[in-house]
């Protein structure tokens, strides 16, 4: 652990050194001190490159007003005029450049900065601004990026393994709020990079999954919500269950049924197998599948036997009874990862993607 922690610190330090822009500031010895403290001689020479220390400082960002002047040339004949092409604009006749729009979108979506606060910050930087203007710019940016968003969702839908999840989201309505839903769809490409797409809808029905994943094939990693049934078997994707959702139910049952700890230990054993695969560097390979067949499959067999033995001892509506019922109903989906190394144990990636909105 100590070696791993040391390596992590070194990697973080190297990443800082790469990401931060460096500016060298030279500090000269003051004139009144440019003499030898031992003999008093002023014949001093540099000793090496100097003593180096690092300080991270914040330099406030600034907005720039750019005045574009297009050259206009006229012919001596008096009949021809040539004008330099105008600068490219995100929106026709728009007064704000792509960097400004990117700053607005990043501030709101990535940094959770409300637009009325952003307007105050922009005004402090010397640019007249109102919240309504920023709102218009935000929607204009969304319109410009719509083709890219659609292409991203198409790339995700064409993947063999897709993760999906949804979360409720309060949105403004006339004199009140109403409940909407934010959906996320993501996949991992061959290079290990994650592609994450979002969709918003005013309902939680299966309409959104059908619009994004309808007519595609492969595997879909989701929880037990029935809204995804429209795009899963028998005509669509193979459903893959989430052990994190399953584990939460057994964890919640601990307060009234301490024996639920046995189920948690079984699930922990499944995750330890995945940790072994990561440490060995064999994730999503044939060796990973063999490791699951050798170590995860016996754990699943023992867990199922334990649940079948415990089920008659607990009320169906009790916490542990419901946890066991949930796991048994989802058993096929929960165990598909054993035969396919590309499939994960849980859907935590989707939940992490939704936390950005929260």
Q: What is the pLDDT of residues 315-355, one digit of tens each?
A: 999 999 999 999 999 999 999 999 999 999 999 999 999 98
pLDDT at 356: 76
What is the reported pLDDT for 330? 96
Question: What pLDDT band is residue 16 in, cutting at 50, 70 and 90?
Answer: low
Q: Please give the torsion angle defined by the CA atoms of residues 42, 45, 49 and 51, in that order, rounded to the nearest 10 degrees.
A: -30
Instruction: Say what percent of the chain tops pLDDT 70.
Output: 98
Q: How many residues does the chain have?
A: 358
Structure confidence at residue 18 (pLDDT): 65
- pTM for the predicted model, two decimal places: 0.78
Mean pLDDT for 189-212 is 92
Distance of CA 269 to the CA centre of its chain: 27
Q: Does residue 154 surpass a pLDDT of 90?
A: yes
Q: What is the mean pLDDT of the chain?
A: 92
pLDDT of 90 higher than 90: no
For the chain, the maximum distance between any two Cα atoms, rounded to a whole number of angstroms, is 102
State which H helix or E strand residue 260 sits in: helix 260-280
Per-residue DSSP letter, 237: B
Higher pLDDT, 339 or 1: 339
The tokens for 336 are 């598909």
Q: What is the dihedral of CA 156, 158, 164, 167, to 10 degrees?
A: 60
Neighbours of 179 (CB within 10 A): 12
Q: pLDDT tens across 42-84, in order?
A: 899 988 889 988 887 878 788 899 999 999 999 999 899 999 9
Q: What is the pLDDT of residue 88?
A: 86
The whole-number average pLDDT for the span 152-180 is 94
Q: What phi-psi label fits residue 253: left (phi over 0), alpha (psi between -120 and 50 degrees) or beta?
A: alpha
Beta strands in 75-193 (DSSP E): 81-83, 161-173, 176-188
* All residues at 6 or more sequence positions from 86 whose CB lies less than 8 Å from its CB, including other chains: 68, 70
Give yes or no for residue 17 having a pLDDT over 70. Answer: no
Q: Which residue has the higher pLDDT, 220 or 89?
A: 220
pLDDT at 117 over 90: yes
Element counts in the chain: helices (H) and strands (E): 12, 7
Q: How confident is the model at residue 21 (pLDDT cuts 50, 70, 90)?
A: confident
Position 115 confidence tier, pLDDT thresholds 50, 70, 90 = very high
pLDDT band at 89 (very low <50, low <70, confident <90, very high): confident
pLDDT at position 20 is: 64
Before 147, cis peptide (omega within 30)? no
Query: At residue 357, does pLDDT exceed 80?
Result: no
What's residue 19's pLDDT?
Answer: 64
């Amino acid at each position: 652990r100590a070696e791993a922690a040391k390596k992590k610190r070194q990697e973080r330090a190297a990443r800082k050194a790469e990401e931060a822009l460096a500016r060298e500031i030279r500090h000269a010895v003051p004139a009144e001190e440019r003499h030898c403290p031992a003999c008093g001689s002023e014949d001093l020479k540099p000793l090496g490159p100097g003593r180096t220390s690092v300080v991270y400082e914040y330099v406030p960002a600034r907005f720039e007003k750019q005045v574009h002047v297009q050259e206009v040339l006229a012919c001596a004949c008096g009949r021809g005029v040539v004008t330099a092409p105008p600068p490219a604009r995100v929106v026709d006749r728009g007064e704000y450049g792509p960097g400004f729009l990117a700053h607005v979108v990043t501030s709101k979506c990535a940094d959770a900065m409300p637009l009325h606060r952003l307007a105050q910050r922009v005004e402090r930087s010397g640019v007249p601004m109102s919240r309504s203007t920023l709102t218009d710019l935000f929607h204009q940016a969304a319109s410009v990026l719509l083709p890219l968003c659609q292409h991203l969702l198409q790339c995700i839908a064409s993947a063999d393994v897709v993760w999906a999840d949804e979360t409720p989201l309060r949105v403004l309505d006339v004199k009140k709020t109403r409940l909407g839903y934010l959906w996320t769809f993501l996949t991992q490409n061959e290079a290990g990079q994650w592609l994450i797409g979002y969709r918003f809808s005013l309902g939680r029905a299966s309409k959104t999954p059908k619009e994004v994943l309808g007519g595609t094939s492969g595997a879909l990693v989701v929880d037990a919500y029935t809204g995804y049934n429209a795009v899963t078997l028998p005509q669509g994707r193979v459903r893959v269950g989430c052990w994190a959702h399953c584990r939460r139910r057994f964890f919640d049952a601990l307060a009234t049924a301490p024996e639920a700890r046995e189920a948690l230990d079984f699930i922990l054993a499944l995750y330890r197998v995945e940790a072994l695969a990561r440490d060995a560097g064999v994730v999503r390979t044939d060796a990973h599948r063999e490791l699951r067949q050798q170590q995860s499959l016996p754990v699943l067999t023992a867990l199922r036997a334990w649940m079948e033995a415990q089920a008659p001892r607990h009320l169906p509506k009790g916490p542990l009874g419901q946890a066991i019922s949930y796991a048994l109903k989802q058993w096929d989906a929960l165990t598909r990862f054993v035969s396919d190394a590309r499939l994960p144990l849980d859907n935590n990636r989707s939940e992490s993607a939704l936390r950005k909105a929260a």
